Amino acid sequence: MNFSCFCKTKGEDKVAKILSVKLVEEKQTDETQSKSACDSINFKAAAKNMGKENENINK
C-alpha cells in the first residue's frame, strides 16, 4: 500500500492515526529506500498536522 496522503478531517483523524502506526511498522521492514523516504516525509507532515488538530480539540 502507498500512503501518499492523509485526510485532515476530524472524522478521519482516528483512521489517519491507525494508518500512521501501520506506516511506522512497514517502514521498519521496508527495504525500498525511495518508498521509505517518501513515506517518511508524508508521515512527518501528517503527524505534525494531527498534533495541531489534537491540541485544538483538547483546548
Over pLDDT 70: what percentage of the chain?
12
How many structural domains compose the chain?
1
In this structure, is residue 45 part of a structural domain? yes
Amino acid type, 8 = K
In this structure, is residue 52 part of a structural domain? yes
Mean predicted confidence (pLDDT) in 3-10: 50
pLDDT bin (cut points 50, 70, 90) of residue 45 is confident
Judge if pTM exceeds 0.75: no
Containing structural domain, residue 58: 32-59
Q: In this predicted structure, what is the pLDDT of residue 7?
A: 46
In this structure, is residue 47 part of a structural domain? yes
In this structure, is residue 59 part of a structural domain? yes
In this structure, is residue 12 part of a structural domain? no
In this structure, is residue 14 part of a structural domain? no
In order of 10, 12, 39, 52, 55, the CA distances from 58 in angstroms are 13, 17, 28, 10, 5
